[in-house]
Structure 1
Amino acid sequence: MTLNRRKFLKNLGITGSLLTVPSVMLNAKPLFGRGNIDLSNVTLKGRVQSNGKGISGVPVTDGINIVLTDKNGDYVLQSNGTAEFVYISVPSGYAFPEEKGIANFFRPLSKGNPVIKNDFSLEKLKVDDRKHAFVVWADPQMKSKKDVELLMSQSVPDLQALVKSYPKDLLIHGIGCGDLVWDEFELFADYKEAVGKTGIPFFNVIGNHDMDNEARTDDGSSNTFKKQFGPTYYSYNRGDIHYIVLDDVFFLGAAKNYIGYITENQLQWLDQDLAHVKPGSTIVLSTHIPTFTGQQRRNGKPEEVGGGTVANRKQLYKMLAPYKVHIMSGHTHFNDNWEEGDIMEHNHGTVCGAWWTGPICGDGTPSGYGVYEVDGTDIKWYYKSTGLPKETQLRIYPKGKVKESPDEISANVWNWDSKWKVEWYEDGLLKGPMEHRVAYDPWAVELYLGPQLPKKHKFVEPTLNDHMFFAKPSPDAKKITVKATDRFGNIYEESI
């Protein structure tokens, strides 16, 4: 989209499908009572204000088109009967509206009214929000009350302690990166209770296990999720960062059948959303299914279109090209970072580890979550393992643990990316960089390999990863130390 076109659309206040719908259709009344799409005109109006004063320039959307509030904070949005919500992109400088920890930036639309009025009230922040932090909880994925107990007794206290470790006035929010439950929708209440206890507001992403498997198409697959958490795609702002959430799980109409795919409706909406974001800005985009990972390459297989990555990701990347972008994703139950140009994807290890069967994911990453510290447009991050100090960023294995490399020690540096440096010392003497190889984590092999392991979920298997490192010590070596330096200069050491 050219800047001139963006400016035109911004001034016009509407874009997308409404521009292409003939007026005769917009005024059409359904002929029959059942199965017809309601395209009758609906006018959405209201005010966005703080302490009685209107806030201008706030994007308001029905999920189809976007308008900005005027100088008095008022908005008028021409919509139709298909719209389910009216919602705002919370501007920088204001607290996130929330209800018991769940972000509440939307209003469900009642049906049958030609004019629907909804106001939004925001609280002005007393602190500078350019400095803030956020955490990414990928795949809590609870199947039973036992899983809920583990989330409540392990993950919640860990996040509570992390929040307390930061200055009291630092703004922190959470992103629930999908698969909040594992098809058991009654456990959404437990997820909400857990989030409420963390003390920070959470924005939520729909995952493949949060979908209605009885729906006949993708359009109806998010009905239950929407009742619990609101829209499945939206944006918000904090400080200098523009945050976007998309639904990239496309349901194929049969239980457990889906692909990674972003619909045209969302891309049209995103086109409008980005029209209000200055080129060069930093964007944090959250999805459930990763747009891309190295899994197929690691397994020696050609790239495929399916449930593992987003089929139309290249179209998304084109839209994001003018910005600096961090993509947050989950779904895979392994940790994987890739970077190309101004896009970096952080595919997170999971809150539930290997589906609450043990302390690590299939690639050896401990159960845990991503922590991101923001200062202006600068973002730094680390992986926080549940129950372990934040300084724990690697695990060393003695000789013989990796059966294919009997004479070598190995180290798993789970949040590694190409800008890390991993070196080793033998008896205090620096020996240089360790050899980087695609391999299995030996503890994951021990816990999960074979048809009878693990007992709780036998489908769990170890997965090849890109963050294993190897070195061959002398036969008489007494102490080996591995020193890993991340891209920010933080040094993590472990010894055997």
Structure 2
Amino acid sequence: MSVPRHLTRRETVAGAALLALSAASGPAAAQAGEAVGVVYAAGPDGARGRGLADVLVSNGREVVRTDAEGRYRLPLDGDGIVFVIKPAGHALPCDADNIPRFSYVHQPGGSPKGLGLRYRGLDPTGPLPAAIDFGLTRVEEPDAFDVVLFTDPQPESPVELGHVRDTAVARVLGTGVAFGITTGDVLFDDLSFYARSNRIVGRIGVPWFHIGGNHDLNFEAPDARHSRETWKRVFGAPTYAFHHGRALFVMLDNVRWLGGGSDKGGGAYEGRIGERSLAFLANLLEQTPRDRLVVLAMHIPLHTDTAPNDPRNTTVDREALLALLKGRKVLSLAGHTHTTEHHYLAEDHHHHVLTAVSGSWWSGPATRTGIPSADSRDGTPNGFHVLSITGTDYTTRYRSAQGEPDEGMRIALESQLRGGAPEVLRDYRPMQTLRSPVPQEALAATDLVVNVFDGGPRTQVAYRIDDGPSQPMSRTRRPDPFVAELFARYPETKKPWVKAEPSSHIWVARLPADIAPGGHRITVDVRDEYGRPLRSAMVLEVG
């Protein structure tokens, strides 16, 4: 179904006439320090129809509802952004690359010339328009829908942007999802790639919403104020929201740039939502029924096993956010760490750190396609997730960007012989026979290691040998032996900072010492975070 194109600046300013004519029954012309406008029904050809009542509009802090004629007014003193919060059953206008156009960035002087930005920021917008209007198209919008979740595609070069195209994007084509989300690090510092990246992802053919990551910043900015100049030009408001079905999606920019002169060290940024965005969320929730599912998307996690106390890897004002969300059903999504994690921050708050599209930053040996294996540092193959929502219920499902669609785990054997130094027996694919049988005397020192790629604290894992009894496995925070050996075996193929890190989704069991010589089937049964079954197997030879 077609959606209206985004209004040109001339058309936006022209909306002042309609606003002035309706002064007797609603908001009049803008006063100093405020924005006014109309949210209206747009026809398939972009034709302007009646005003839409009860649509939320925000300046990034205050949230107001349009009146019976679709009119609103908001404080806007100096630089600022005004955006419409799409209601359920309506579509936003999208550009040729399916980027939703929902905001107006007001920056009269444009990006300050003295910043010396490497990548182009905003051109001067001039005086505040007499009216900032938004057109929405009425569409059928069922309560059951799927959303593709990307994080950290992070291409550092044109070649790596091609890897994004030929893996994750290729896997999503034709899947019939409602829309997509990328939770940051769309690029890897070189912001000149946005146009090509948007062209590639836009070919999926659905609206695609974005949040900025730390690698999407303008690093020349001395502080957070102007660190999203290029982002605002390309995508619009860095923090915003929209409704779809019975869910409220809130897109939070929680990367706070501290500037090149920061005494924090390292990357000179931290995870912080900030007072203004917290106020926006509080005002938005006041206008949202409590029986709605709230889906938050951000770049830096609220919590991570990887570095739980590092402000560059967690959100320092998390507690203030959790307090606002108390008593609501919440799914929050993040990326950044290039690991896959599930956390439960409150009774009804599930925090999901998503698998990176780039895995280990496009590291690892190239496959026959010329694309790096890109296994994440916690052992998960590079990939993405699909969020399925029905009403206010949801599930997520991991998808490998390069493997089989039902591939959900890796089974390996690890020997602790040779003076205690781990040795991985080098054949991992389910249902294949190990190249060399395991000596019977080594069984008591051999661990069965299972990486359930999207596993978490609610996942249950058990194994059995042949037709024997099912035996539980223990969740153990440790590196994946497969990816540890992969990086050690091919050091020249990885980025210098990449190494195997302790994984939150590894299960371990010591093999019985009395397995008879010969061939045996090891079956692994999993119940994932949502109670869904998953099964895989391998063949064990005992010599």
Instruction: Give the TM-score, by structure 2 length.
Output: 0.78
Equivalent residue for 2:66?
69
Evaluate the alpha carbon distance shift between residue 455 and residue 391 of structure 1 in structure 2; reply closer, same or farther with a 3 A threshold: closer
2:405 counterpart of 1:390: yes
Matching residue within 90, 94, 115 for 2:90: 94
Question: Which string of whole-angstrom CA distances, capped at 9 and with x for unpartnered residues, describes residues 15-44 of structure 1?
Answer: xxxxxxxxxxxxxxxxxxxxxxxx962433
Is residue 40–residue 81 contact of structure 1 (8 Å, CA) maintained in 2? no
2:160 counterpart of 1:122: no
Compute the displacement of 1:275 (Å): 1.1
Alpha-carbon distance in 2 for matches of 1:437, 1:427: 24
Matching residue within 313, 316, 324 for 2:329: 324
Question: Which string of whole-angstrom CA distances, capped at 9 and with x for unpartnered residues, describes residues 314-346 of structure 1?
Answer: 111001113111110000000010113111111
Alpha-carbon distance in 2 for matches of 1:308, 1:110: 31
Gaps of 5+ in 2: 1-30, 44-48, 109-125, 262-266, 365-372, 417-421, 425-443, 539-543
Equivalent residue for 1:7?
none
**Residue correspondences, number:** 442
Equivalent residue for 1:47?
39
SS at match of 2:300: coil
Q: How does 1:127-142 map to 2 (within 5 A)?
A: 128-142=141-155
After superposing the two structures, state which structure 1 stretch, 282-291 or 396-405, moved more.
396-405
Is residue 249–residue 262 contact of structure 1 (8 Å, CA) maintained in 2? yes
Question: Which string of whole-angstrom CA distances, capped at 9 and with x for unpartnered residues, describes residues 455-481 of structure 1?
Answer: 341210111012111223343361111
After superposing the two structures, state which structure 1 stretch, 283-292 or 384-393, moved more.
384-393
Is residue 357–residue 454 contact of structure 1 (8 Å, CA) maintained in 2? no
Q: How does 1:26-425 map to 2 (within 5 A)?
A: 41-51=33-43, 52-83=49-80, 85-99=81-95, 100-109=97-106, 111=108, 112-113=126-127, 115-126=129-140, 128-161=141-174, 163=175, 166=176, 172-254=178-260, 256-296=267-307, 303-339=308-344, 340-358=346-364, 359=373, 360-400=375-415, 403=423, 406-425=445-464
Evaluate the alpha carbon distance shift between residue 110 and residue 438 of structure 1 in structure 2; reply closer, same or farther with a 3 A threshold: closer
Alpha-carbon distance in 1 for matches of 2:510, 2:75: 68
Equivalent residue for 2:498?
460
Is residue 327–residue 345 contact of structure 1 (8 Å, CA) maintained in 2? yes
Equivalent residue for 2:111?
none
SS at match of 1:295: coil
Question: Which string of whole-angstrom CA distances, capped at 9 and with x for unpartnered residues, describes residues 380-439 of structure 1?
Answer: 111011122332111101243954994111110021122222111101323221122111
Compute the displacement of 1:145 (Å): 0.9
Alpha-carbon distance in 2 for matches of 1:144, 1:361: 19
Is residue 394–residue 413 contact of structure 1 (8 Å, CA) maintained in 2? yes
Question: Which string of whole-angstrom CA distances, capped at 9 and with x for unpartnered residues, describes residues 136-188 of structure 1?
Answer: 10000011011011111222111115x1xx5xxxx521111100000001111
Is residue 35–residue 132 contact of structure 2 (8 Å, CA) maintained in 1? no
Evaluate the alpha carbon distance shift between residue 249 and residue 454 of structure 1 in structure 2; reply closer, same or farther with a 3 A threshold: farther
Alpha-carbon distance in 2 for matches of 1:115, 1:415: 48
SS at match of 1:318: helix
Question: Which string of whole-angstrom CA distances, capped at 9 and with x for unpartnered residues, describes residues 206-262 of structure 1?
Answer: 100000111011111111111111111011000100000111111111183101111
Alpha-carbon distance in 1 for matches of 2:463, 2:92: 45
Alpha-carbon distance in 1 for matches of 2:534, 2:282: 42
SS at match of 1:87: strand
Q: Which amino acid aligns with 1:116?
A: A
Matching residue within 447, 460, 466 for 1:427: 466
SS at match of 1:283: strand
SS at match of 2:159: helix
SS at match of 1:445: helix
Alpha-carbon distance in 2 for matches of 1:219, 1:40: 23
Alpha-carbon distance in 1 for matches of 2:232, 2:511: 56
Alpha-carbon distance in 1 for matches of 2:455, 2:71: 47
Evaluate the alpha carbon distance shift between residue 430 and residue 199 of structure 1 in structure 2; reply closer, same or farther with a 3 A threshold: farther
Alpha-carbon distance in 1 for matches of 2:133, 2:225: 27
Evaluate the alpha carbon distance shift between residue 390 and residue 436 of structure 1 in structure 2; reply closer, same or farther with a 3 A threshold: same
Q: Which amino acid aligns with 2:528?
A: D
Compute the displacement of 1:86 (Å): 1.7
Alpha-carbon distance in 2 for matches of 1:391, 1:264: 42
Compute the displacement of 1:67 (Å): 1.5
Larger radius of gyration: 2
Equivalent residue for 1:30?
none
SS at match of 2:520: coil
SS at match of 1:254: coil
Alpha-carbon distance in 2 for matches of 1:464, 1:470: 13
Equivalent residue for 1:3?
none
Evaluate the alpha carbon distance shift between residue 150 and residue 114 of structure 1 in structure 2; reply closer, same or farther with a 3 A threshold: closer
Identity of aligned residues (%): 27
Alpha-carbon distance in 2 for matches of 1:218, 1:110: 16
Evaluate the alpha carbon distance shift between residue 295 and residue 118 of structure 1 in structure 2; reply closer, same or farther with a 3 A threshold: same
Q: Which amino acid aligns with 1:105?
A: F
Alpha-carbon distance in 2 for matches of 1:399, 1:292: 30
After superposing the two structures, state which structure 1 stretch, 277-286 or 130-139, moved more.
277-286
Q: Which amino acid aligns with 2:236?
A: G
Alpha-carbon distance in 2 for matches of 1:183, 1:320: 33
Is residue 246–residue 286 contact of structure 1 (8 Å, CA) maintained in 2? yes
Alpha-carbon distance in 2 for matches of 1:355, 1:406: 34
Alpha-carbon distance in 2 for matches of 1:115, 1:146: 42
Q: Which amino acid aligns with 2:103?
A: F
Q: Which amino acid aligns with 1:258?
A: Y
2:517 counterpart of 1:479: no
SS at match of 2:357: coil
Is residue 362–residue 448 contact of structure 1 (8 Å, CA) maintained in 2? no
Is residue 453–residue 460 contact of structure 1 (8 Å, CA) maintained in 2? no
Q: Which amino acid aligns with 2:260?
A: A
Q: Which amino acid aligns with 2:98?
A: G
Gaps of 5+ in 1: 1-38, 297-302
Root mean square deviation of aligned Cα: 2.1
Q: Which amino acid aligns with 1:147?
A: E
Instruction: Give the TM-score, by structure 1 length.
Output: 0.85
Is residue 34–residue 73 contact of structure 2 (8 Å, CA) maintained in 1? no
Is residue 139–residue 330 contact of structure 1 (8 Å, CA) maintained in 2? yes
